[in-house]
Amino acid sequence: MPLRLTTYGRSEDIPSLPGKNVFHSTELFRVLEQTDAYRPLLAVAYDGDEPVGKLLCIVRRKSRWLRISYKTFSYGTGEYFGTRWKPEEVFGEILTYLTRYYGGYSWMVEFRNLEDALFGYRYFRQNGYFPIRWLRVRNSLHHPRIDKWMSQSRRRQIQQGLANGAVMEEVESEADIRSLFTMLDHYYSSKLHHYFPDVGFFLSLLTESSGDKEVGKVFAVRYKGRVIGGSVCLFSNGNAYLLFSGGLRKSFPKLYPGVLAVWKAMLYARDHGYEHFEFMDAGLPFRKLGYRDFILRFGGKQLGSRRWFRISWNWLNRLLIRMYV
C-alpha cells in the first residue's frame, strides 16, 4: 500500500499523533499559529490509517520596501514511527510534496538544525537542494558543575553581574513577557541576519507550557525592576535549545545581561533533568565569528553540520548547486 500524505493548516484539524520532537509537534504548531507573519503547515504521512511520519514547515512573511516575500523553513527533517517504512523513504515522499507545494510560493526553502547531517541526502539532491556547511554548539549538562569547561572570563562575568545586583528569573506573566519582548525586539532590530517574531509567539509559548508537557520557557534578567536581558528556550527529547537571547550590554556593561540570560537558561535545563543545551544558530564555519566566540566561552563543543537550501529562481539555484555540491 502506498503512503498517503495529508497536510494540516489549522491546529483544530490535527488528530492525536505520536512523537516527542517539539519542532514537529502540535504544540509548536499552535504557538506559530498565534504568531503574526508566521503560517505553519504540518505534513503527515500515513500507511493506511497509521501515521508513520510528520514534518512541520513554517512560512514566514516579510515586508521590505513595499514588497512582500515568503520564506519556508523547517527545524530538522521530521519525526518518523513504525518499522514497515524506512524513515528516509517517508521523508523523501514528504520532501517531494513540500518542494512542489512551496516551489513557486517561497523564494527559499531551508532545512536547518539537522540532527544527522547525512539523513535524506539522496532525496535533497533529487529535489534540487544544495547543502552549506553549518556549525552547532552543544553543552553537556551531565556534570554536577556545568561551568567546569567554561572560560575563566565567563565565570568572572557571571559572578560580577550577580554581585552588582542583576537578578535572574523565570518569566510567568503576560506583563513580563511584553516587557521582555520590547527589550529583545530592540536588541534584534540591529541584527541584519536575524528575524525576531511577533509578541504572540512568546505569549502563546507561555500558554502552551502551562500543562504537563513543557514546550518552552522564557527567562529574564532584571536590574532594579527593569528587564535588561532575556532568553527563550524550547525543550525536546531531553535536550534544551536556545532560540533567542540578548541583553542591554552597552547600557549595563558591568551587569553582563546577555551572559546571565544564557546562564539562567542553562541552570534551568540542568535542574530539570535535560541532558544537553544547544545554541540553535552557531553560524557559518568562518574562522572568526563574534557570536560563536561568545557562546563557546560557555564551554560547549563545536560540531559540524549542514543546512539544505533551495532557491525559487532556477538559474540561481542551479549555479549554487554547482558551487556547493
Q: Is residue 120 part of a domain?
A: yes
Please check whether residues 65 and 119 belong to one and the same domain. yes
Please check whether residues 287 and 161 belong to one and the same domain. yes
Please check whether residues 102 and 145 belong to one and the same domain. no
Instruction: Give me the pLDDT at residue 321, please.
Output: 95
Please check whether residues 206 and 116 belong to one and the same domain. no
Please check whether residues 51 and 152 belong to one and the same domain. no
Q: Is residue 318 part of a domain?
A: no
Instruction: Give me the pLDDT at residue 138, please.
Output: 92
84 Cβ contact partners less than 8 Å away, ≥ 6 residues apart = 47, 52
Q: Is residue 320 part of a domain?
A: no
In the chain, how many domains are there? 2
Assess contact for 38 and 51: CB atoms under 8 A: no
Q: How far apart (Å, rounded) are the C-alpha atoms in residues 124 and 113?
A: 15
Please check whether residues 191 and 282 belong to one and the same domain. yes
Please check whether residues 143 and 123 belong to one and the same domain. no
Instruction: Give me the pLDDT at residue 302, please.
Output: 86
Instruction: Give me the pLDDT at residue 191, please.
Output: 67
Cell of residue 80, nine digits: 518518523
Q: Is residue 184 part of a domain?
A: yes
Total Cβ atoms within 10 A of residue 290: 7
Instruction: Give me the pLDDT at residue 188, please.
Output: 82
Total Cβ atoms within 10 A of residue 73: 17
Instruction: Give me the pLDDT at residue 100, please.
Output: 92
Q: Is residue 274 part of a domain?
A: yes
Q: Is residue 325 part of a domain?
A: no
77 Cβ contact partners less than 8 Å away, ≥ 6 residues apart = 55, 91, 111, 114, 115, 116, 119, 120
Please check whether residues 115 and 146 belong to one and the same domain. no
Please check whether residues 185 and 275 belong to one and the same domain. yes
Q: Range of 13's domain?
A: 4-127
Please check whether residues 153 and 280 belong to one and the same domain. yes
Please check whether residues 42 and 188 belong to one and the same domain. no
Instruction: Show pLDDT as tens, one digit a residue, over the chain (325 residues).
Output: 689 999 999 999 999 999 999 999 999 999 999 999 999 999 999 999 999 999 999 999 887 655 678 899 999 999 999 878 899 999 999 999 999 988 778 999 999 999 888 999 999 999 999 999 888 889 999 887 888 889 999 999 999 999 999 999 999 889 999 999 998 888 887 765 567 899 999 999 988 876 667 899 999 999 999 999 999 999 999 999 999 999 998 899 999 999 999 999 999 999 999 999 999 877 776 666 777 888 889 998 888 889 999 999 999 999 999 998 8
Q: Is residue 319 part of a domain?
A: no
Q: Is residue 257 part of a domain?
A: yes
Please check whether residues 151 and 290 belong to one and the same domain. yes
Q: How far apart (Å, rounded) are the C-alpha atoms in residues 294 and 313?
A: 36
CATH number, domain of 29, equals 3.40.630.30
